[in-house]
A and B are shown apart, each in its own frame.
Chain A
Amino acid sequence: MTAPATLTHTLAARDLRVDTVAGHPVLKGVSYEIAPGEVLALVGESGSGKTTAGLAALGHFRRGLVHTGGTVSLQSDDGEPVSVLEVGDRERRSLRGSTVAYIPQDPAASLNPALRIGRQIGEVLETHGYGTSAAERSARIAEVLAEVGLPDDESYQRRYPHELSGGQQQRVGIAMAFACRPSVVVLDEPTTGLDVTTQTLVLRTVAALTTEHDTAALYITHDLAVVATIAHRVAVLRHGEVVECGSAEEVLRAPSHAYTRELVTAVPHLDGTGATSTSAAERPESVTPESAGSNGAEPDGVGSNGASADTAEPDSAEADSADSNGTQPGDAAPAATGGDRARTPVLSVSGLSVSYGDHRVLHDVSLDVRAGECLMLLGESGSGKTTLSQCVAGLGEPHAGTVSLSGSPLATSTQRRTAEQLRSVQYVFQSPYSSLNPRKTIAQSVELPLRTLTDLDATARRARVAETLERVRLDPAFGDRLPDELSGGQRQRAAIARALVTTPEVLLCDEVTSALDVSVQATIVDLLCELRRELGTAMLFVTHNIALARHVADRIAVLRGGEVVESGTVDEVLGSPSHEYTRELLANTPRM
């Protein structure tokens, strides 16, 4: 896509400087301009100041921030440019919504739950004195609803926000923003909470509206794949400075700044190139379960056992060996026999069903994860993927069906599992911000499983913790710190260390990358891949992001509405998806 050729700028920020009250700079002279009908993407990681720079266009600064320099000028369709930061409060308030509109990240939180949606859109129009009569306004409500691709009839307008899906809510939010035909819209990560299919719809809506009405759009995001889909130009922000600015094509294909290159390479690709720089290159492009099993065994020097991987061993013998391994928590037992057991599932789920009352969350789900293998469990929000992984971990609700570890069935709740079983199945939570106790040091948190599940003494535990922290590439000195002294990526490493400290046979990773920035996400995925090869741990990688498939997984199971609709090797599923839903997912995943 190319920028429409225009000379004027609708929105121009010049040398914008913002400090915190304490004097720490947040923006260090940020400039950007947007032409009518153009979409400028403001890209950056959390803390880069991208939201601050975007909200400045509305003349708004979050509490604790002070504007110390620079201007924002806004050129409306009719008349003189307005300097947003210099006009009075009242005037600025009348600009917002009519000339410059804002679309927030969370649609559900931005809509008033007690008002019908037609009324909410009408309110925006009334506040800004749109039209002369009520009839004109209600015509505009219907019109704008149709513009965002929603039904415009009376009965739809009479719905409450909770009667709409997340995607519909976000489109109502967009309708509210576009209701007064603003010259500029600021979109703050509007698709972050949505699944890919809805995201595509919302992106199309935004693109259509901006071109149609010649609206300038400032799109704040951290997702470069989305940028590639929607933006004409891109400004990359880092530590409050624009490090690179240019057309989307230039910036994404031939980034000139080192940081941009890092960002671009960190984006996971469906075809497996690019991201996870080191491991993806070392790893064979497609890893079959068999080779994954022997891969896992090699680093531990038992490659000779790998030869027997192809000749299936009797089940009972393997179950025995698993048991004897489990009783020695101190060594890397699971890896040692990884080669032997490559063909038998170390974790097996069969006929798993969970219901909350009448609502069926999981229905007859069966999965197998073999030793050293990574199974990606792919599903969107509400597909039951987290419920499934929590059932396996023993945190879930009572369920029907069995979960068995190396052939022996696991109890439903952790309280009735043996210490050995608890050691063998470990869980990494989605958000490292809530999975570590904020009042405990990293070492105390990592030590926890050792205290409760093993009888190692304090010295041995401490040594083990230091060793595991090193294994996840975290300086053991971090052990004495509290979680809030660590970055998100470091916290997730610590959480992974806690899961690995008992050398589990199965590691459950529940959306472990979704709370992290793109570049950090890539390093965590790298780390997990490396650890899997080093330790031969089987992994169940739960995610909504199909683009990660080639980077982490050997096989994929696609979960939809509580049922596994498709499963197979990564190549099979991505290359020739058999289920309609998988095809749809693949088609809607934004690519760079």
Chain B
Amino acid sequence: MTATTTQSTLLRRAWALPQAKIGLALTVVVVGVAVLGPWVGPWLTGHDTTSFAGKPFQSGGIAGTDGLGRDVFTRFLSGGLTLLIYAVLATALGLVLGAVLGMLAGYSGGWLDSLIMRGSDVLLSFPQLVFALLAIAMIGPEGWLLVLVIGITHAPRVARVARQATVAVKDADFIRAARMYAMPRRRILLREVLPNITGPLMVELGLRLTYSIGYVASLSFLGLGIQPPTADWGLMINENRIALVVEPWGVLLPVLAIAVLTVGTNLITDSLASAAAGTSQSGKPQTAKEASA
């Protein structure tokens, strides 16, 4: 209850910034397309995502056909949902895992801190995409693996921010008081520490969501994410890029959608970051940007 009041002040402050409104509008448009698209698409165009609408790379219909003669607009409308779901799941996984590890490391200190943070340093030394490629090459392009791998690669980055924010509050008197009242560590982290580091974590949430969208789309583009014949934005870019000059919509529509979504979530993240920077009590919000830079 209290956490929501303070979080809502953060959201209110963020909302007062113009970029938050623009960001939210952009995000809502793309999310709306992605969520409603699969249902509206066939009704709007009269085609299924996998049914043949005409000859390959023709300009009939709203956005023409792709290399296999399927309707591009229908496929575009249905291609966002999977991507979005994977991205959200991966972000959630990374954030929860990272926050838990980071708080544990920051609060406990000592060998546990070293173990967690040096372990995550090892993970950080792999480029995120390379790590994902490795795992997918070994196990195969499964949806759950995509979420798991991207989530895991987010975790050390979130953990750094969470650890830093935790260290900033862990010596506060109210935490010492909780220790004095023999509160178990789990509850101290959950009840005393977590509500005081939500600012930086909110910023991380936005940032990681943006990255997740990018990664899922990239992996699909490389043929390692979502597999054909499923309609997917990343995949569509790859399928239609050979006809970019003849029939550009198959590439342009998904590129635009991904770009708008990324810019939108980034703007929201930015406004959250500046709102958090304004409130002195929410730890050190700058660390969120520094650590992820």
Q: Which A residues are closer than 8 A to B by beta carbons?
A: 393-395, 414-415, 417, 419, 422, 427, 429-431, 434-441, 444-445, 448-449, 452-453, 482, 484, 498
Contact B180 A394 (CB under 8 A): yes
Q: Which of A393, A431, A434, A484 is within 8 Å of B180, CB to CB?
A: A393
Least distance between B199 CB and chain A CB atoms (Å): 11
CA distance A440 to B177 in the complex (A): 14
Contact B195 A414 (CB under 8 A): no
Contact A448 B178 (CB under 8 A): yes
Contact B6 A438 (CB under 8 A): yes
A438 surroundings in chain B (CB, below 8 A)? 6, 174, 196, 281
Given contacts A417-B182, A441-B1, A452-B181, 19 further A-B contacts (CB under 8 A): A414-B182, A422-B180, A427-B180, A429-B173, A430-B173, A434-B174, A435-B177, A437-B174, A438-B174, A438-B196, A439-B3, A439-B196, A440-B2, A448-B177, A448-B181, A448-B183, A449-B181, A453-B181, A453-B182
B130 contacts chain A at the CB level, 8 A cutoff: no
B192 contacts chain A at the CB level, 8 A cutoff: yes
Q: Which of B1, B179, B182, B196 is within 8 Å of A437, CB to CB?
A: B196
Contact A437 B195 (CB under 8 A): yes
A437 surroundings in chain B (CB, below 8 A)? 174, 178, 192, 195-196
15 contacts between A and B (CB under 8 A): A393-B180, A394-B180, A429-B177, A435-B173, A437-B174, A437-B192, A438-B6, A438-B196, A439-B2, A439-B6, A440-B192, A448-B178, A452-B183, A453-B182, A482-B5
Contact A395 B174 (CB under 8 A): no
Q: What does the 1/0 interface line of B158-200 toward A look like (CB < 8 Å)?
A: 0000000000000011101111111100000001100110000
The verdict on A498 contacting B5 (CB below 8 Å), with A434-B172, A437-B195, A452-B183 known, is no
The verdict on A441 contacting B2 (CB below 8 Å), with A435-B173, A448-B183 known, is yes
Least distance between A496 CB and chain B CB atoms (Å): 12
Q: What does the 1/0 interface line of B2-25 toward A look like (CB < 8 Å)?
A: 110110000000000000000000
Contact B173 A434 (CB under 8 A): yes
B5 surroundings in chain A (CB, below 8 A)? 482
Least distance between A186 CB and chain B CB atoms (Å): 26
CA distance A435 to B174 in the complex (A): 4
CA distance A498 to B177 in the complex (A): 10
- Return the chain A residue nearest B187 by Cβ: A452
Least distance between A429 CB and chain B CB atoms (Å): 4
CA distance A173 to B173 in the complex (A): 31
A441 surroundings in chain B (CB, below 8 A)? 1-2
CA distance A434 to B154 in the complex (A): 32
B177 surroundings in chain A (CB, below 8 A)? 427, 429, 435, 448, 498
Number of contacting residues on B, CB 8 A?
A: 21
A427 surroundings in chain B (CB, below 8 A)? 177, 180
Q: Which of B2, B174, B176, B192 is within 8 Å of A482, CB to CB?
A: B2
A452 surroundings in chain B (CB, below 8 A)? 181-183
CA distance A453 to B182 in the complex (A): 7
The verdict on A395 contacting B2 (CB below 8 Å), with A437-B192, A439-B195, A445-B174 known, is no
Least distance between B149 CB and chain A CB atoms (Å): 34
Contact B181 A395 (CB under 8 A): no
- Return the chain B residue nearest A450 by Cβ: B181
Contact B182 A395 (CB under 8 A): no
- Return the chain B residue nearest A439 by Cβ: B195
CA distance A427 to B1 in the complex (A): 27
B182 surroundings in chain A (CB, below 8 A)? 414-415, 417, 419, 422, 452-453
CA distance A394 to B181 in the complex (A): 10
A498 surroundings in chain B (CB, below 8 A)? 177
Least distance between B185 CB and chain A CB atoms (Å): 10
CA distance A488 to B174 in the complex (A): 15
CA distance A44 to B179 in the complex (A): 37
CA distance A562 to B26 in the complex (A): 63
CA distance A498 to B174 in the complex (A): 11
B172 surroundings in chain A (CB, below 8 A)? 434
Least distance between A422 CB and chain B CB atoms (Å): 6
Least distance between A449 CB and chain B CB atoms (Å): 5
Least distance between A233 CB and chain B CB atoms (Å): 37
- Residue of B5, B176, B177, B196 contacting most chain A CB atoms (<10 Å): B177
B179 surroundings in chain A (CB, below 8 A)? 395, 414
B178 surroundings in chain A (CB, below 8 A)? 437, 448
9 closest residue pairs by CB, A with B: A439-B195, A435-B173, A429-B173, A437-B174, A434-B173, A452-B181, A449-B181, A439-B2, A434-B172
- Return the chain A residue nearest B180 by Cβ: A414
Contact B196 A395 (CB under 8 A): no
B174 surroundings in chain A (CB, below 8 A)? 434-438, 445
Least distance between B171 CB and chain A CB atoms (Å): 9
CA distance A427 to B195 in the complex (A): 24
- Residue of A434, A439, A453 contacting most chain B CB atoms (<10 Å): A439
CA distance A444 to B187 in the complex (A): 14
Q: What does the 1/0 interface line of B93-125 toward A look like (CB < 8 Å)?
A: 000000000000000000000000000000000
Least distance between A508 CB and chain B CB atoms (Å): 10
CA distance A440 to B4 in the complex (A): 11
Least distance between A540 CB and chain B CB atoms (Å): 15
CA distance A427 to B178 in the complex (A): 11
Contact B176 A395 (CB under 8 A): yes
- Return the chain B residue nearest A432 by Cβ: B173
Contact B181 A431 (CB under 8 A): no
CA distance A114 to B195 in the complex (A): 38
CA distance A415 to B179 in the complex (A): 8
A436 surroundings in chain B (CB, below 8 A)? 174
CA distance A448 to B188 in the complex (A): 11
- Return the chain A residue nearest B194 by Cβ: A439
B1 surroundings in chain A (CB, below 8 A)? 441
Least distance between A499 CB and chain B CB atoms (Å): 9
- Residue of A414, A417, A441, A448 contacting most chain B CB atoms (<10 Å): A448
Least distance between A495 CB and chain B CB atoms (Å): 8
The verdict on A444 contacting B2 (CB below 8 Å), with A434-B172, A435-B173, A437-B195 known, is yes
CA distance A430 to B5 in the complex (A): 27
A440 surroundings in chain B (CB, below 8 A)? 2, 191-192, 195
- Return the chain B residue nearest A431 by Cβ: B173
Least distance between B10 CB and chain A CB atoms (Å): 11
CA distance A438 to B169 in the complex (A): 11
Least distance between B273 CB and chain A CB atoms (Å): 20
Contact B180 A395 (CB under 8 A): yes
B6 surroundings in chain A (CB, below 8 A)? 438-439, 482
- Residue of B1, B2, B191, B196 contacting most chain A CB atoms (<10 Å): B2
Least distance between B293 CB and chain A CB atoms (Å): 26
CA distance A439 to B192 in the complex (A): 8
Least distance between B7 CB and chain A CB atoms (Å): 9
- Return the chain A residue nearest B172 by Cβ: A434
Contact A422 B173 (CB under 8 A): no
CA distance A417 to B182 in the complex (A): 9
B183 surroundings in chain A (CB, below 8 A)? 448, 452
Least distance between B234 CB and chain A CB atoms (Å): 40
